[in-house]
Amino acid sequence: MLTRRSFLLGSLISWAAAGEIFDPVFGLPKLKAKPAAPVTGPHTIARAEWPPAILPDFASVANPQGFSLFCDEFGRMSVVDIRRPGNPKTPVKVMGELSGLGKKVFDFTSFGPRAYALVALTSDPADLQLNLVTINVTNFAAPSVVSKMPLREYAEFTAITANNDLVCVAGTSLSGENLVTLYQSPIKGRAMEPTLLASFSVPYPVAAMDVQDRTMVVLNCAAQAPISQLDIYNIAYPRSPQAKEPIKLEGEFKRMARVRGAVVVSGRPMINDRLANACEARTIFLDPSPRVVSSLTLEPLTSVLSAAAQRDRFLILGETKQGRKVLSIVADKTGHLTREQVVNLPAPKGSYGQHATIVAKDRNIYVCSGWAGVEMLTGGKEGWTPVYTYSIPRLPASGVASWNNMVVLGGSDLKLYDISNPDKPSLVSTQDLPTSIKAIVGAGSYVLCLSKDGVALRKMDSLSNVAATLKTQGNQLCYDPVIQKAFVIAEQEKKSIAQRIKVYSNKLEVERTIDLPKGVNRGVAQGGYMLCSALNDLYLYGVTDNVEQFSTRHFENLAPRDFTLTDDYVIATFVDQQTKGFFLVLSKDNKDMHVLGSVDLPHDGTAVAVQGKRAITAGRTPDGKSIAVIVDFTTASAPKVVATLPVVESASAISIKDRMAIVVGRGLELLSLM
C-alpha cells in the first residue's frame, strides 16, 4: 500500500534523478585525480630483462591463460607469456621463476593450477632420492612448491602426465618392473601430498602416457627388441583401472598424441624384419574396441622427437637431412591420415640440447629445443608459420658501451638498444658472433670488441659492419678517449703486457707494447693514465708517450674487483676471502696510492662507475640477489652509502650517461642517480 511517506520519498528520489539529468550542477561532483608526484631520489627508470637461463627441456601450456611453463633438467622452472609476441599490449614477458625442484628433472607436466616434476634430490647414483614434486602455479608471478613426495618404489622415472586432479607416474621399480602409478592430487587448498590410487605394470618401459575422458593410454616400447605396445585402461574408477585389449605395434614407437578417442603414435616400423629408415604414424581408435585404422609415412622425417595434438591436427617434430621440421597431419572421421604441411624451422642460433618438445595451445605451437630456444608457430589460412623465436642468451652481458642514445651490450652476441625514451628502452638489433665477447669498450660512436680472434672495431649504429680488425691475444680491453688509444692486456708466463693500439675510424694501428707486472689481467684508461690490477695489487701508469709507473699498492687480504679513475682519485671495489665487498677511495697522486676512505658494501663489488662525487656499484648479495649501491664520496675520508636498489640479474657492468646509470647483466636496467 502506498503511504504518504513512501509517496513523498519516491517523489523526492525521482526529482533528484531528473535534476541530475537536466541540471549537471545537481549531480555528484567528480573527484579529480591528483597528478602523480614526481619520483625523487635514486630509482629504477626501466628494466629490459633477458629470458632467464632456464632451458625449455620440458614444456607445458595446459592452463586456461595459455602461458608457457618451461622446466630444465637442473630443477628450474619459468612461466613465460609468449601468446601474442607481435602485440605491443602483450609483449613477451617472464611472469615468474622457481628453482630448487631437484638436482635432476626426468619429466615435467602441468594441468590447470598445478605443475608436476619427477626429480632426483641428489646426484648420488646410490641414493637418488626420487620424488614427485607438486608446484602451485595459481599465481604465475610466484610459483611455489606444494610438496615433495618420495616415491621409494621407483629406481628410475620415465614419464608423467596429468589431467584435472589425476597424476600418472611411470618408471622402473626397484624390482625391475615397468611400473605405472596413479595419484589423486589436491588442486585446491593448502599444501597436501598426492594420494596413491592404484598401481600396475606394463610389459615394456613406458615412453609416453595420456589421460582423457576416463581413459588412460600408455605407450611402451622394448629397450632391445623393436616392439611396442599401446595399453588402454578404463579409469572411470581410478582405484581399479580396467585394462582393455592392448595394441601390438611392430617397430619402435615412442611418441604419441591424442584427441579424445583418436591416438596417433609415431616412430619407425618394422619392414622385412628390420627397422625402416622412414618414420611412420598410425591412427588408433579407442572405441568401441581399440584398433589401428590408418598409417602414413612421415617423409622427410628420419626420426621423431616429439608429438602434439591441436584440435583435429597432429603435429610431429622430427629430424631430417636438412634440419628439424614440423609435419602437420590431419585425421578425418574414419581415422585416415593426410599430410597437410611440412614446416621448415629457422636454423638455430644455439645448439639444440638433449631434449626436444612440441606443445600446442589454441592456434599456437611451441617447439622447444634447448639453447636454440622456443620457436613459436601460428596457424592461419596459409598454414603454420614461424612468427617468433624466444631465445635464451647463454651468458649475461660482459660489458657495455654507450654513445648518445645508443647502448651496446656484449656477451655471446652484441645487442643494440635505443634509450632515447628512457622509460621504454627498445632493442634495435642483435648481431650474432662466431665467438663470445671477452670485453667491449666504447670509442666514440664505435665499439671495440675483444674475442679470442682479436679486436674488431664496429660502428654502433651498424654492428654488422666491421670497420677494422686486428689479430691479437688478450684477456681484457680498455680505451682512453682522451688520447684515443686502446690497450689489450694479456698474461704471459713471466709477465703481463698491454698491447697499445691507436684507434682510427677505419684502422687499428699497433704501437709499442707496455710491459706489466706478472699477474696483471685487468685495466682502465683515462686521460693518459692506465690503472691495472693483479690478484692483490693495483698499479697506476702514465701511458701518453714514455711509459712510467706512478704508484702501486698491495692489499694483503683484499682483491680488486673493479675500478675507475677520476681527476683526483682512484675509486675501486674490493672483495675479501669471504666475498664481502668494500668501496675504497685512494689517492691518485702519491706513490703508495694511499687509502683515503672506505665503506662496506652489501654485495661483492662486481662493477663500479663514477659521476662527479657519486659512484654506483653493483654486485651479488650473499643470498644471490643482484643489487646496486650508490656511494657519495664528497668527503673522501668518509664515503657513505646513500641508496640501495635491486637491479637486473647477474649485473656485471655499468656505464653512466648524464644523471642516468646503465646497469647490464642478463638484460639492461636504467637507473636515475638523483
Burial class (CB in 10 A: 0-12, 13-18, 19+), 21: exposed
Given a contact cutoff of 8 angstroms between Cβ atoms, the answer to whether 240 and 234 are in contact is no
- Tell me the backbone φ, ψ of residue 363, rounded to 5 degrees: -100, 15
- pLDDT of 304 strictly over 60: yes
Topology of domain 555-674 in CATH is Methylamine Dehydrogenase; Chain H (2.130.10)
**pLDDT, tens digit, 9 for 90 and up, residues 306-323:** 999 988 899 999 999 999
The reported pLDDT for the residue numbered 192 is 80
The Cα–Cα gap between 362 and 350 comes to: 28
The reported pLDDT for the residue numbered 153 is 96
Report whether the peptide linkage leading into residue 386 is cis, meaning its omega lies within 30 degrees of zero: no
Q: When comparing pLDDT for 448 and 37, which is higher?
A: 448
Residue 31: what pLDDT? 52
HSE-CB for 510 with a 13 A CA cutoff: 12
Task: Name the one residue in this structure whose C-alpha cell is 603454420.
Answer: 384
pLDDT tens profile 54-111: 989 999 999 999 999 999 999 999 999 999 887 777 888 889 999 999 999 999 999 9
Confidence of residue 33 (pLDDT cuts 50, 70, 90): low
Per-residue pLDDT for 538 more than 80?
A: yes
CATH topology of domain 212-344: Methylamine Dehydrogenase; Chain H (2.130.10)
Where do the structural domains in the chain lie, given as residue ranges? 54-202+349-392, 212-344, 555-674
Give the sheet arrangement for strand 93-98, strand by strand.
58-60, 68-71, 77-81, 93-98
pLDDT average, residue stretch 609-619: 97
> What pLDDT was estimated at residue 280?
97
**The predicted structure's pLDDT at residue 129:** 96
pTM here? 0.76
Whether 12 has a pLDDT exceeding 50, the answer reads no
Q: Do the domains at 212-344 and 555-674 have one common CATH topology?
A: yes
669: β partners? 47, 663
Q: Does residue 70 contact residue 80 with C-beta atoms inside 8 Å?
A: yes
* pLDDT at residue 19 in the model: 43
How far, in Å, CA of 303 to CA of 323, rounded?
A: 11
Number of residues assigned to the chain:
674
Taking residues 411-438, report their average pLDDT. Answer: 92
Q: Inform me whether the pLDDT recorded for 667 exceeds 70.
A: yes
Percentage of the chain exceeding pLDDT 70: 94
